[in-house]
């Protein structure tokens, strides 16, 4: 399907349609997209309803919220959108032109990711390509799929294949091998979690827990995330873990960009710090005490800074306290030295020992804001371990 859209002359998009039985045309009120001219002293002010123009007018359509449409629209060299109020044009030379603005949005518009020109992107720095990929993933995860358990990775495969070729990097269930430890740092915003817009998929297996594809709903790489993508790509971090091996159980052995089965795992060399399973509060953040730190306060209402890990869970339904059987761990990945932070921050994942395998699964993101020297001394005492994350 990717080759069909990549090599087409024009993709006609029925944005006005609410379902497969609707066509391209709809009844509209032309006044809604007409200029309104108002006198303003010696000049005349022209007003247009901006939300009805260009890219913004496409964001509210049913079609724009479909997951399969993302790669179809992104890969097409030209798209003619038959919208509910007006016709909109997209191509690599004219990102967004509509009947209101036939020469393009005068303010430039925010048409990403659909203004992405892969022919030009191939000549740009690697950091820009990776950042663009993260933005596309963020957009895709906010879209809907009728059958997410089977289609989550499949409907994204054409984009993944393009990105893999541009980066010359191995694709691993939605992410890429060479910077995989940094890409582990995707998060779910608290608002999306609380409003149940994002949650861990409970149906048929679709992706490993460390992949964004295991989540139904929006995930964040760039906005409000714990690690600045810009700083991470620039190498302003100190890695605390090492990738050893990726083992993929492909549903289609001929398609490394498609779906994966439940045996898919990453082997890692790193540190595992046991966590007290009680979920506590510190500075309005959810926190967990590190069981490895000596002389922790016995009071559950007081947590000393540097003795706890701030956590952001992937699931709202996680119940705490968890039975303390040594099953919960903080897996530190990197020390972020970004100037965006006032101090160094250890970033990593919250892992739970899996009851179905000899490895671990991701249940959230974690961060340590205490003294880095103290933290390094603590993990050195624990020693490096080799383990699998499924």
The residue written with tokens 């509509």 in the block is: 98
Angle between helices 157-167 and 126-141 (to 10 degrees): 170
Q: 2: Cβ–Cβ under 8 A, 6 or more apart, which residues?
A: 71, 75, 157, 158, 161, 162
What percent of the chain shows pLDDT beyond 90? 28
**DSSP for 191-241?**
HHHHTTSSEE--SS--S-TTSGGGEES--BSSSS-SS-HHHHHTT-EEE--
Instruction: Return the pLDDT at 300.
Output: 38
Instruction: Return the pLDDT at 106.
Output: 63
Query: What's the CA gap between 211 and 53, in Å, rounded?
Result: 35
Summarize pLDDT for 326-381 with one digit per residue, the tens: 688 999 998 876 655 455 788 899 999 887 668 999 999 888 888 888 888 889 88
Instruction: Return the pLDDT at 203.
Output: 77
Summarize pLDDT for 149-190 with one digit per residue, the tens: 999 999 999 999 989 998 999 999 999 999 899 899 898 887
Q: Which residues of the chain have pLDDT under 70?
A: 33-56, 105-124, 222-237, 279-285, 292-306, 317-326, 337-343, 356-357
Q: What are the C-alpha distances in Å from 144 to residues 190, 209, 344?
A: 20, 20, 37
pTM metric for this prediction: 0.83
Domain ranges across the chain: 2-98, 119-294+303-390
Query: What's the CA gap between 315 and 363, in Å, rounded?
Result: 7
Instruction: Return the pLDDT at 91.
Output: 84
Give Cα 131 distance to the centre of its chain. 11
Query: What's the CA gap between 68 and 17, in Å, rounded?
Result: 15
């Amino acid at each position: 399907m990717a080759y069909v859209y990549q090599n087409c002359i024009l993709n006609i998009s029925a944005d006005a349609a609410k379902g497969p039985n609707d066509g391209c045309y709809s009844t509209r009120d032309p006044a809604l997209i007409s200029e309104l001219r108002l006198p303003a002293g010696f000049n005349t002010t022209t007003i247009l309803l901006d939300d009805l123009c260009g890219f913004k007018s496409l964001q509210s359509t049913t079609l724009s919220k479909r997951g399969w449409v993302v790669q179809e629209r992104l890969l097409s060299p030209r798209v003619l959108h038959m919208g509910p109020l007006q016709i909109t044009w997209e191509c690599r030379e004219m990102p967004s032109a509509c009947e209101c603005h036939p020469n393009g949005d005068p303010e430039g518009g925010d048409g990403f990711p659909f203004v992405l020109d892969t022919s030009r992107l191939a000549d740009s720095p690697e950091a820009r390509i990776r950042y663009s990929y993260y933005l596309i993933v963020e957009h895709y995860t906010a879209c809907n799929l009728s059958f997410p358990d089977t289609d989550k990775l499949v409907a994204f495969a054409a984009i993944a294949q393009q990105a893999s070729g541009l980066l010359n990097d191995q694709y691993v269930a939605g992410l890429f091998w060479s910077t995989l430890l940094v890409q582990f740092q995707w998060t779910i915003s608290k608002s999306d979690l609380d409003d149940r817009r994002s949650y861990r998929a409970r149906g048929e297996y679709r992706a490993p827990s460390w992949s964004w594809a295991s989540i139904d709903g929006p995930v964040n790489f760039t906005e409000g995330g714990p690690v600045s993508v810009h700083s991470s790509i620039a190498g302003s971090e100190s890695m605390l873990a090492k990738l050893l091996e990726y083992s993929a159980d492909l549903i289609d052995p001929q398609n490394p960009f498609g779906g994966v089965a439940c045996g898919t795992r990453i082997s890692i060399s790193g540190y595992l710090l046991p966590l007290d399973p009680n979920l506590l509060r510190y500075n309005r953040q959810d926190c967990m005490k590190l069981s490895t730190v000596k002389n922790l306060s016995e009071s559950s209402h007081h947590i000393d800074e540097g003795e706890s890990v701030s956590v952001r869970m992937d699931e709202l339904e996680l119940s705490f306290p968890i039975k303390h059987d040594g099953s919960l761990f903080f897996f530190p990945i990197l020390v972020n030295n970004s100037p965006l932070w006032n101090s160094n921050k250890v970033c990593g994942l919250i892992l739970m020992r899996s009851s179905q395998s000899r490895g671990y699964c991701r249940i959230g993101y974690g961060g340590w804001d205490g003294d880095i020297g103290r933290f390094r001394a603590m993990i050195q005492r624990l020693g490096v371990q080799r383990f699998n994350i499924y």
